[in-house]
Every structure is written in C-alpha cells, then in structure tokens.
Amino acid sequence: MSNAYLKLVTPSIVNRTVMPQRRPNSALRTREHLTENEVERLVDAARKNRWGHRDATMVLVAELVDLRWDQIEFASGALHVRRVKRGTPSTHPIVGDELRALRRLQREQEPKSPFVFTSERAAPFTTAGFARMVERAGVEAKLGFKAHPHMLRHACGYALANKGHDTRALQAYLGHRNIQHTVRYTELTATRFKDFWRI
C-alpha cells in the first residue's frame, strides 16, 4: 500500500573533501597585539577569577605553560627560558612585581609541584587551558575583541620596540632564530617617525 503524502527527495547535502576556510585574523580583529593598558586590564580581570593570583601571574610571565621551579633563580632574579618551536633559549631578568608574584605562588602552591602553574588537579597547566583563561579574562576586561595568548607575546615585542630597544636585542629577548620575525615590532613602533621633521 503506497502513501500519497510521502515522496522520494534527493539529498541536498554536499559532501566535501575540504573543510570550509577559517576566517583570517584581520577579519576578526584589527591588530594582533595588546597595548600596555589592555595588558593591565587583562591582569586585573584575571585577578577576579577563582584562582586570581595564579591567573594574574600567568599573564605576567611569558613562556609559561611548562615553566618549572628549577628554571627560576630567586636569589639573582633570573628566569631560564626554554623555547618552543625551536626558538633560542635565553636567560631573562625577573623584575620586582613578577618576582614577588612568583614567590607568593610558590608559597601558596598546594600540593607542591615541579611545575609553576598547575590546574586544580595539580597537573601542569595546558596551552588550551591558558588560552581559555586569557579569552575569559579578555571578555571580563571588555577588550572588544577575542584575546589569545600570543597577543601577550606581541604586546611584549611592541612595548620593548616602543621603548627604543634595537631589533637584534629584541630578537634575542624573544628567542627568534630569524630576524624577519622580529622586524614586525620595529616597523609599527609609534616613535619611529617622531622627529622626522625637526632639524
């Protein structure tokens, strides 16, 4: 017995072998770095989290996800940076605020771990976990665009370039093997053309 109300329909779904393209970053936001003011707002927003001190300290410390306590020399105020993506390792000075924040974090860390930043389950913090925390802090800080962890690295590069540090010193500080990756920070520095018309 056939049903007059049912009919055979051809499927409208097209099977693709290639996934749709992700929108470029320029369509999502106008720039890929944060200003110093935006970094401060991000730190303040991270302080409001349940683990506020840890989260605010994570925003201050670069190269952090797998950072271990044995990489930090509290007596001399130095951080031994191991790079990801085949970057050049280096030793960075740790200034007052960051040093105090790390000392407090070490005192309050329970249970103790060889890793500086741990989750609630005492496991090392993951890259994805840090990215979610930065994104949530960006929303809380009302930045107006989606923040991601690499914006903090770019913010560091632009801040140092704006303070007049030369490109080679920036390259070493950021661990870039190729100077082409560092030039982007000096190209957009606000002080680059400051005294062009003064003689």
CB 41 within 8 A of CB 48: no
Give 81's strand partners: 90
Tell me whether residue 59 is in a domain.
yes
Nearest one of 151, 163, 158 to 186, comparing CA atoms = 158
Reported pTM: 0.74
Give 1's pLDDT tier (boundaries 50, 70, 90): low
Cα–Cα distance, 138 to 145 (Å, whole number) = 8
Per the structure, the count of domains in the chain is 1
Tell me whether residue 177 is in a domain.
yes
CB 176 within 8 A of CB 87: yes
DSSP string of 47-107, one letter each residue: HTSTTHHHHHHHHHSSS-TT-BGGGEETTTTEEEEPPSTTPPPEEEE--HHHHHHHHHHHH
Tell me whether residue 193 is in a domain.
no
Cα–Cα distance, 54 to 8 (Å, whole number) = 60
Tell me whether residue 63 is in a domain.
yes
Give 115's pLDDT tier (boundaries 50, 70, 90): very high
Tell me whether residue 81 is in a domain.
yes
Tell me whether residue 58 is in a domain.
yes
Q: What share of the chain is helix, strand, coil (3-state, %, to 5)?
A: 45, 5, 50
pLDDT on residue 60: 60
Tell me whether residue 15 is in a domain.
no
Whole-Å CA distances, 21 to 24, 25, 26, 28, 58: 9, 12, 14, 14, 32
Domain containing 154 equals 31-187
Tell me whether residue 12 is in a domain.
no
For tokens 């349940």, the residue is 50
CATH code of residue 121? 1.10.443.10
Torsion of CA 10, 14, 15, 17, to 10 degrees: 160
Report pLDDT digits (tens) over 147-163.
888 888 888 888 888 88
